[in-house]
Chain A
Amino acid sequence: NAGVMQNPRHLVRRRGQEARLRCSPMKGHSHVYWYRQLPEEGLKFMVYLQKENIIDESGMPKERFSAEFPKEGPSILRIQQVVRGDSAAYFCASSPPGDTYEQYFGPGTRLTVT
Chain B
Amino acid sequence: GEDVEQSLFLSVREGDSSVINCTYTDSSSTYLYWYKQEPGAGLQLLTYIFSNMDMKQDQRLTVLLNKKDKHLSLRIADTQTGDSAIYFCAETSDSNYQLIWGAGTKLIIKP
Contact = CB atoms under 8 A, between A and B. Distances in A.
A67 to B, nearest CB: 15
Interface string B68-100: 000000000000000000001010100111111
Contacts of A103: 45, 97, 99
Given A42-B4, A56-B95, A104 B101 contact: no
A43 B97 contact: no
Interface centre among B4, B35, B43, B101 (most CB of A within 10 A): B43
B88 A43 contact: yes
Contacts of A105: 35, 42-45
B92 to A, nearest CB: 6
A40 interface: yes
Given A101-B48, A101-B96, A106 B42 contact: yes
B17 interface: no
A31 B97 contact: yes
A17 interface: no
Contacts of B88: 42-43
Contacts of A53: none
B62 interface: no
A56 B98 contact: yes
A44 B100 CA distance: 7
B82 to A, nearest CB: 18
B99 A43 contact: yes
A100 B42 CA distance: 19
Contacts of A43: 43, 88, 90, 99, 101
B103 interface: yes
Interface in B32-54: 35, 41-45, 48
A25 interface: no
A33 B99 CA distance: 10
A48 B31 contact: no
